[in-house]
Amino acid sequence: MKNIFKAVLTVLIMSSQNAWSYYGTALCGFPQYECIKVASGQTWEKMFPDPVQRDIVQRVNRTYNSLWTGREIAIPRNLPYLNANDISPFPIKMAGETEKQVIVDQDNLAWAAYDAEGNLLRWGPISSGRDKCSDSNKSCRTLTGIFRVFSKENVRCVSDVFPIGKGGAKMPYCMYFHKGFALHGSDDIPGQRASHGCVRMFTIDAKWLNENFMELSSERNNFTGTKVIVRPLSDSEKKS
């Protein structure tokens, strides 16, 4: 069953998707999922009282934003028997690794943390930079490449830039990997790329990364912060 779910995710990567479609709706054509439209007055808590099952459905749909009437969400048909790793878009083990790292996969709207032996420790949804900024005609795509975390702050982290002209946007548990680009928690993970360039994630995931995984430069790690790999979007690879 786990292989079936991973095969579905692989097909999703290879299929062309509208940049503004919601991630979960792309799963509706696969038999492993049941898709339903949210009825008036329903919430995540009402629809999925069990917190573990609720978390799995939110991770499948890459969102924990408030639901609205008519919103379509995908639900695994064997939900009671799944755990988070069963629906991971990342392999549980990566061979040949010798260094802990975080991988950001924009096509899958997901991040993963691997230890130095290549074992998947945790993964979760993200929202990376949108094609065009909402407040200008510039591109807001997230910078791609291999980076090192050089700075991090606690739950009180805020942006110096956004909103433009005044700053102050909340970025709890921010972890900077290149200039102003950071991984950080957010209440707005809509199931699509929607940021100004940072990598938004569930706040509970950002807290775990910040406090339990990410290391800044020190003698213990040969003065190199934790590696962050931001994969390019598949359409970027086609254009290059």
Of 94, 95, 99, 104, nearest in space to 124 by CA: 104
Average of per-residue pLDDT across 83-93:
97
- 209 shares a domain with 105: yes
Domain end position, chosen among 58, 87, 116? 87
Residues 79 and 128 in one domain: no
pLDDT of 223 above 90: no
Residue 173 · residue 209 · CB < 8 Å: yes
Query: How confident is the model at residue 134, as a pLDDT?
Result: 80
Same domain assignment for residues 123 and 62: no
Instruction: Provide the pLDDT for residue 145.
Output: 98
Cα 227 from Cα 145, distance rounded (Å): 10
d(CA 236, CA 13): 13
Verify that 139 and 55 share a domain, yes or no. no
| Structural contact between residues 113 and 207, judged by C-beta atoms closer than 8 angstroms | no
184 vs 179: CA distance, rounded Å: 14
Range of the domain at 177: 101-239
78 and 135 in a single domain? The answer is no
pLDDT, greater one: 165 or 137 = 137
pLDDT at position 11: 47
User: 126 and 79 in one domain?
Assistant: no
Name residue 200's beta-bridge partners: 127, 184
Residue type, 108: N
* Residue 149 near residue 226 (C-beta atoms within 8 A): yes
CATH number at residue 165: 2.40.440.10
AA identity, residue 237: E
Q: Is residue 240's pLDDT more than 50?
A: no
- Is 80 exceeded by the pLDDT of residue 41? yes
| Residue 17 clears pLDDT 50, i.e. is over it | no
Whole-number Å distance between alpha carbons of 191 and 65: 9
Question: Is 212 a residue whose pLDDT tops 90?
Answer: yes
Between CA 107 and CA 78, with CA 63 as vertex, the angle to 5 degrees is: 90
The residue ranking higher by pLDDT, 12 or 140, is 140
Report the share of the chain in percent with pLDDT over 70.
86
The Cα 175–Cα 110 span in angstroms is 16
Supply the pLDDT for residue 164. Answer: 58
| Residue among 124, 131, 137 nearest 184 (CA) | 124
pLDDT digits (tens, 9 = 90+) for 102-116: 999 999 999 999 999
- Mean pLDDT is lowest, of 20-34, 85-99, 161-175, for 161-175
- From the centroid of its chain, how far is CA 86? 16
Longest dimension (CA), the chain: 56
- Residue 148 contacts residue 216 (beta carbons within 8 Å): no
Domains in the chain, number? 2
pLDDT for residue 75 is more than 90? yes
pLDDT at 137 over 90: no
Can you give the pLDDT at residue 218?
A: 86
**Of 32, 56, 87, at which residue does a domain stop?**
87
Over its C-alpha atoms, the chain yields an Rg (Å, rounded) of 18
Nearest to 212 by CA among 159, 171, 180, 175: 175
